[in-house]
Amino acid sequence: MEKNKIKIGLIGLGTVGSGVYKTLQNFENVEITKIAVRNKNKKRNIEGLDESIITEDPYEVVNDPEIQIVAELIGGLNPALDLIETAIKNGKHIVTANKELLAKHGEELFKFAEANNKVVLYEAAIAGGIPLIMPIKTILAGNKINKIKAILNGTTNYILTKMDMQGASYEDVLKEAQELGYAEADPTGDVEGFDAAYKITTLATIAFGKRIKIENVYREGITKIRAQDMQAANEMGYKIKLIASAELNKEGKADVRVHPMLVPISQTLAHINYVTNAVSLSGHPVGDVTLSGPGAGEFPTASSVVGDILAIASEIGKTDYLLPMMRCHHSENAQTIDISETENKYYLSITAQNSIGVIGRIGKACEENNISLASIVQKEVSSNNAAIITVITELCKEKDMQNVINILNNDKAITKVNSLIRVQI
């Protein structure tokens, strides 16, 4: 007698949805019985796709009494949140790749799922094909994780890698990335750090066991990074990367942020190039662990979605309380540290007049704000008597560094503060 197949509904048949559909055809214990799409007439590169199961109404999926697992793969907040809540209300378990939804509405979503005794899995929402959430909740469950450093956005990492390799400007590389399909026509979500901020919010929440609020995550994108900064970083033994970081201090307060950093070439993340993602976790007793791989794409992301679907499918009918380790158990919000109170090292690029005492004035501004300098170098003097001065500071408070920037911006001998980038310690 043939075992009953677990019925699956898909919402979305784009890049990831197509990969999920193709991959699930290899498994005999599950069956996709309904798929919601925006446009039924769109041509799709899927062999053997049964057109009769496709609908343009996603509520047909979440209201179908036979479907047991719904995979939401459309992203965004609306209608995704209502569709997921409707599906849960109708007794369905959820798999999602929706990082924005989790970052902004994760708390209410997980509480609603628990109240209805349903599971929400989201491995694909953080780093595409890299397994993170299940390892943290299972294999690494005995660890106290206190630090995360990660590259979580392939588009920005591709742009920064090409800028580094080619010595090209941000604008030129962005245009090339858009032509190749690595960057959206409107790249704001990626290049301004929103995507990475959503991901580190959820990842830090899971790793620290306390809820991180997205509004408390500092975010800064890559649009101000210049080819000259790349060159200077290389000369000093660094690579510039968009780093999503989260750290617990000794008092248990969380410092969670996304911004460009100069990463020492001795560190693993300095060598993660193009669209590859990587996550470095530090904890006790494991020490340091780095996981890297494809952070997006049809099959890498489908790998995580399908893994979640099969994990749920394997439990259905065997227990009344599925996957207890994978459920949300957070009961408190993390206390967070404002960026102004954080301590960092800084790289500073300044254009100034080539006149006596300019370097001394920069040093004095730093001294008055409790900042020691690791190095200060005047690189060149142009035909218009302008000098490029590069500064690396020792560890200091962000608010003190911002005071220095204000002083320099109002100094007539300083033409421009070109760049301020934090340095990974």
Residue 354 has pLDDT above 90, yes or no: no
Structural tokens at position 169: 């400007």
What residues are annotated to the active site?
A: 199
- Tell me what the mean pLDDT of segment 370-379 comes to: 93
Query: Does 79 or 381 have the greater pLDDT score?
Result: 79
Q: What pLDDT does 1 receive? A: 32
- Tell me what the mean pLDDT of segment 199-205 comes to: 98
Q: What percent of the chain has pLDDT over 70?
A: 99
Residue 4: pLDDT band by 50, 70, 90 thresholds?
Answer: confident
Domains in the chain: ranges and CATH: 6-128+298-326 (3.40.50.720), 133-294 (3.30.360.10), 342-423 (3.30.70.260)
Residue 330: pLDDT band by 50, 70, 90 thresholds?
Answer: confident
Tell me what the pLDDT averaged over the chain comes to.
95
Residue 380 has pLDDT above 80, yes or no: no
Residue 352 has pLDDT above 60, yes or no: yes
Q: What pLDDT does 301 receive? A: 96
Structural tokens at position 278: 């990587």
Q: What is the pLDDT of residues 231-251, one digit of tens each?
A: 999 999 999 999 999 999 999
Residue 12 has pLDDT above 90, yes or no: yes
Structural tokens at position 108: 């209410």
Q: What pLDDT does 383 receive? A: 67
Q: What pLDDT does 2 receive? A: 47
Residue 314 has pLDDT above 60, yes or no: yes
Q: What is the pLDDT of residues 121-170, one digit of tens each?
A: 999 999 999 999 999 999 999 999 999 999 999 999 999 999 999 999 99
Residue 3: pLDDT band by 50, 70, 90 thresholds?
Answer: low
- Tell me what the mean pLDDT of segment 102-115 comes to: 97
- Tell me what the mean pLDDT of segment 20-48 comes to: 95
CA distances from 84 to 54, 120, 317 (A): 18, 9, 22
Q: What pLDDT does 329 receive? A: 84
